[in-house]
Structure 1
C-alpha cells in the first residue's frame, strides 16, 4: 500500500501526469509534449515526505497534474519515469511497483525460474504473493503451490492461477508440500513470511532448489541452518527490490518495464483488493495491519 508511515514514505514510486508547464521540459518529455502523458515515477523520497500527496499511488486524473503536486521537488533524471501504455488502466499500473517488480526480479533474475518448474509462494494472497502467482503461472509457465493462512486466502490464490494450495495454519507446510509433490520437493520458493514458515519452505526444496527471501511479514527472522543448504545443494538468497535502483539501475528498470509490458500484453492480471479514498488512509492502514487485505490496497485521490 502507498502511504506515509513512521516518518518514512512508502513506497518509492508514484503515478505522475505531466504537461507542458511541468518541471520536465518539453525537450525531455517522451512523445508529443502537447499531449499530457502518464508515467510511473520512482525515486527515493526527499524533503517534505510527510505530505499527504504521497499516500496516492492511484489517481484517475481528468486534468494534467504537475509533478510538484506529488513530489516535493522535480523528479530527475527522466530515466526514472516509465510511461504507462494506453491499454493499461491507472489502477492496474498502480499495482506494479514493488509487488510486481519484486515478483519479476525474484522469479526471473534471482531464482532463474524455468518453464515447468514448481514454485512455492508463501503469504500467497498478499500483493507480492499474488504477483508471484501471476508471473510464475502466466509468464514463466511454472507450476505454483500457493501457501496462505486461511481457506479464504487459499481460494483466492487458486482463482488467480495457483495449481495447488496449502493452508499452513492447519499444520506443517513441509508435510503438505510433500503430499503434493512427493519427496522430490519444489524447485523455487518465494518467502515473504519468515520464521518457521521460511524454514519449512527451505526444507521443501528439491535438489539444487532456490529460495528467495523477500520479507518477514510474520515478524520473525529465521536463522538459516547451513547444513540444509549443503545436503541438497540448495541456494538461499535475499531480495530487496528498491536497493537495485542504487546498486544496479538497469536491472531495476527492466523489472518495471517488463511488468508494464506483461500488463499491456494481457499476460498478467493484477489483483486490487481494496481502494480507499485519501481521507480514509487510516482505515486503509488498519485494513492491512489487521490482515484483512488481499492483493494490493490502493489510495485514490478521487
Structure 2
C-alpha cells in the first residue's frame, strides 16, 4: 500500500495507493444517525435542484436568461454535491475511511470543476441582474441567447482549466507527509498541504488560481451590486425600488451563503487547527448550500412557484 523512502524523513511517503479521509464521529451509535442525516440532505438537494431544472425547461415563461443561468446553477449544484456526499455515505455504511489514490484525484478534479462552476455562474448571474436593472431597454439585445450560451461555456472551460491545473500540481507530488486528509473529501488545498516539497512555483500557481477564481468573481459581483444599488436608489417610488430589488434578492442570498461559508472555511482553517471543525465548516458550502439554493429561489420567486405548481399538476394528470 505505502512504500517508505530511506533517504527521506520517516513521514515522507511515496507510492501511495490510498488516502484516509476524516470521519465526523467515531461513535458507532452515531453512524446510523449521520448516515440518515446526510442521505436526507443529499436527496433533498438533488430532488430540489432537479425540480428547478424541470420547472424552467417545461414552462415557456421561464425561458429567459435569468432562469437559464439558474437551471445551469442547479445542474452544477447536483453535480457538486454528488462528488462528495455519496463517497461519505459509503464510508459511513462500511465503517471505512479509505479512498484510493485514483479515486481521490478523480473526486478532487470533479470537485474543482463544479465548485468553480458555482463560482462563475453566480458571477454571470450578477452581471445578468446588472444589465436587467441598469440597462432594461437594452436587456433583450445584450443578453441574447448566443451570449448566454457563450457565458456558460466560458464558465465551464475556466472551471475545467482550474481542475486540470490542480490535477497537474497534485500529480507532480512525489512524496507526501501523511496519508491522513483533514477533510471528509479530497479537497485540493488539503492534498497540496500534504506535499513534502512546497516549491515556490507551486505556491505562485496556487495563489494565482485563488486570485482568479475567488477575488475576481467576488469583485465582479460586488461591482455589479454597487451599480445595481445605485440605480435602485434613483428610482423615485418605493414600490419600484422594492420590485427592482426583489428580482435580485434570491441571487444575493445565495451569493452570501456560498461565498460566506466558503470564506469562513478557509479563514477558519488558518486560525483554528482542528480538522473536525474545518470539516464541519466545509459541510456548510459543500452540502448545505446546494440543498438550500432551491428553497431560496422557490420560496422567494413567484414565477418559480407558479411553474412548479403547473409542473406538478401536469405530472399528476
Larger proportion of helix: 2
TM range (shorter): under 0.3
TM score, norm. by length of structure 1: 0.22
Question: Which protein is bigger by CA-based radius of gyration?
Answer: 2
Q: TM-score, normalised by structure 2?
A: 0.22
